[in-house]
Chain A
Amino acid sequence: GNSVTQMEGPVTLSEEAFLTINCTYTATGYPSLFWYVQYPGEGLQLLLKATKADDKGSNKGFEATYRKETTSFHLEKGSVQVSDSAVYFCALSEDAGGTSYGKLTFGQGTILTVHP
């Protein structure tokens, strides 16, 4: 079955530090890959996505590149802010001829705390 593995957290950084959160996946077929973010007390919201190999998703200074050869989709940001403190989830959705029903398989989440 499909699975997503994220780096263990929590991650604690100082403001303006460089962020990397590793994500690797296992899937049959050709999945789409996503990063979702959950701010304290809220539901998840889509941060960025990539639908095919070598695509780069980007939003709010965050980037992730779909690497089929290493089955990875690592999240990066050059300079984090206190407001980036949240839980980050890597996820995949497999498009198996349109029968995937939009099912997302999530990683375990990585808690990020950014200090001033």
Chain B
Amino acid sequence: QVHLVESGGGVVQPGKSLRLSCAPSGFSFSNYAMHWARQAPGKGLEWVAVISYDGTIKYYSDSVKGRFTISRDNSKNTLYLQMISLRAEDTALYYCARDPSFSISNELDYWGQGTLVTVSS
């Protein structure tokens, strides 16, 4: 069955960088668009970014645009989120999620369990 496992989270100082990874299994990764979303402690869901199946189309939320980069390596079956200039308000549980379309439908049909990013000095 579909399984998504995020990794790379941790405690990082403000202004520093971090790269998250997502390892999918149970489906043909290269045929699906993928998303990152996040959830600050005790708060609601916030969408972060999406990438098309081939990596040619990417969209970002206004809150991360210019600081975060979504990418994928279909040969390694891995989704990434490169985060720079991290701020305290980026502290959250970061989820990767599958889009049921190869282009982008913006539905998120399967989610990982998340990796926690804490930005603190």
A associates with B: no
